[in-house]
Structure 1
């Protein structure tokens, strides 16, 4: 039986050291990464652990929100672990998927993690709407030079050639040409 730890932060400005320390304290070999917890895509260290772990192993996190911020993602991860005979445990929360109470608590925490993410998204959208109403928020600056796209089109280049020339996608070329 092996104990593996998974530590995650969302941005490079955040510090992993407290998570790593807590996981090492319970005897884990720790994998760590900087990636959003709202999706599983791009989380190579977690994917490596999910593929590598074997029956009887234990996966530790400090808190369930380090693993996933979506109840669907959390349940998928737990399902993969269960299929392999791997228990999920947390150092700061009473989570142990090898027990019924631990599994129930995990599900409740997953619901709250997703709820927190949704609240944060709602507050962000409200702030953006207010800023737009005041004329402060203009959105992301355009990364495609529409004038350059149009001049290349007028010079007889096709969309694919323009995209290659400027290092952008064809869809961006069409958007620039349509004025969006």
Structure 2
């Protein structure tokens, strides 16, 4: 059962010394280190670290924000570790999923993250409904106004010009014209 560490700093100017020292003091035998922003998904050493972990191992980080890009990402990673029988420990926040209290804290994080996602979704739907009630329609603005649409449809119906020529004339794609035609057949 290995105790493996993961450390990350956001920029090349930052140093990993503080994290290295804390991980070493916690009994970490092998540390994987990335120099990448937390927002980026490209963290090659984290990928190697996660592949190296085996059932019964413990992954240790200095702080929670060193592992996950956001709360959802952190919860996903820790849940994946748990499924593989790997414990997780964060030194700064004193979270240890090898202990019942640590598991409870993590489940609370997960519940709060789920609650936050639902609130965002609810607010989005409410905002869209309010906009519709005021006569606003979502989506991209129409490329052609009503007069241009009528002219394009008439040109397509007369077949004097090809659809490609009509699309160049109005500065739109052929698929826009076909969509316009299909919407007006109803």
- TM-score interval (norm. to shorter): 0.5 to 0.7
Give 2:19's aligned residue: 19
- 1:12 and 1:104 mapped to 2: Cα distance? 36
Query: TM-score, length-normalised on structure 1?
Result: 0.56
After TM superposition, give the deviation of residue 102 of structure 1 in Å.
1.0
Structural mapping, 1:91-110, within 5 Å: 91-106=91-106
Give 2:31's aligned residue: 30
After TM superposition, give the deviation of residue 99 of structure 1 in Å.
2.8
Give 1:42's aligned residue: 42
For residues 51-89 of structure 1, the C-alpha deviation after alignment (integer angstroms, 9 at most, x for no partner) is 111000000001101111312111110121111100000
Secondary structure of 2:5 counterpart: strand
Q: Which runs of 5+ in 2 are unaligned?
A: 117-186
Give 2:82's aligned residue: 82
Aligned residues: 112
Structural mapping, 1:1-180, within 5 Å: 1-28=1-28, 29-39=30-40, 41-106=41-106
Give 1:155's aligned residue: none
Query: TM-score, length-normalised on structure 2?
Result: 0.54
RMSD after superposition: 2.2
- 1:10 and 1:108 mapped to 2: Cα distance? 27
- 1:89 and 1:95 mapped to 2: Cα distance? 5
For residues 73-112 of structure 1, the C-alpha deviation after alignment (integer angstroms, 9 at most, x for no partner) is 1111012111110000022221011233213434667879
The 8 Å contact of residues 61 and 90 in structure 2, kept in 1 or not, is answered as yes
- 2:59 and 2:69 mapped to 1: Cα distance? 17
Secondary structure of 1:37 counterpart: coil
Q: 1:87 to 1:48 in 2, by over 3 A?
A: same
For residues 23-56 of structure 1, the C-alpha deviation after alignment (integer angstroms, 9 at most, x for no partner) is 01122111111111124x2111111111111000
- 2:101 and 2:54 mapped to 1: Cα distance? 23
- 2:77 and 2:20 mapped to 1: Cα distance? 20
Question: Which of the pair has more CA radius of gyration?
Answer: 2
The 8 Å contact of residues 56 and 87 in structure 1, kept in 2 or not, is answered as yes
Give 2:135's aligned residue: none
